């Protein structure tokens, strides 16, 4: 019960900081949802219903609920989706090139 209350507090904190610049509220809200889903039978049932209706939106949360959550890949994938929605096609190409150059650079450093 205490963990579920903590989850609700974290969700409220995420909603409060959501209007600030940057993606600060989204990861905090996701973390709160993970706490609530792990500790509430009712929330799990609602999650399964949402999973059947909108699997594309629920899949990132499923990845965060695993025993060994994939935090970095989930947030990277969500950032790419948000970028696709926000940016026009021309600017997207510039960012794709920049990501490729950054990825190549990082691979050279860490090999």
What are the pLDDT digits (tens) for 29-85? 888 888 898 888 898 899 889 989 988 888 887 887 778 877 777 777 777 777 777
What pLDDT is recorded for position 88? 66
Please write down the HEC assignment for all residues of the chain: CHHHHHHHHHHHHHHHHCCCCCCCHHHHHHHHHHHHHHHCHHHHHHHHHHHHHCHHHHHHHHHHCCCCCCHHHHHHHHHHHHHHHHCCHHHHHHHHHHHHHHHHHHHHHCC
Q: pLDDT-based confidence at 91, cuts 50/70/90?
A: low
User: Which percentage of the chain shows pLDDT scores above 90?
Assistant: 9
Average pLDDT, the chain: 81
- pTM of this prediction? 0.57
């Amino acid at each position: 019960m205490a963990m579920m209350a903590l989850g609700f507090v974290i969700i409220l904190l995420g909603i409060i900081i959501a209007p600030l610049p940057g993606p600060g509220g989204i990861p905090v809200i996701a973390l709160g949802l993970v706490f609530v889903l792990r500790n509430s039978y009712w929330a799990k049932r609602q999650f399964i219903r949402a999973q059947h209706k909108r699997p594309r939106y629920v899949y990132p949360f499923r990845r965060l609920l695993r025993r060994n959550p994939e935090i970095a890949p989930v947030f990277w994938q969500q950032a790419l989706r948000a970028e696709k929605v926000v940016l026009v096609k021309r600017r997207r190409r510039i960012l794709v090139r920049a990501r490729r150059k950054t990825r190549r650079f990082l691979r050279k450093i860490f090999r």
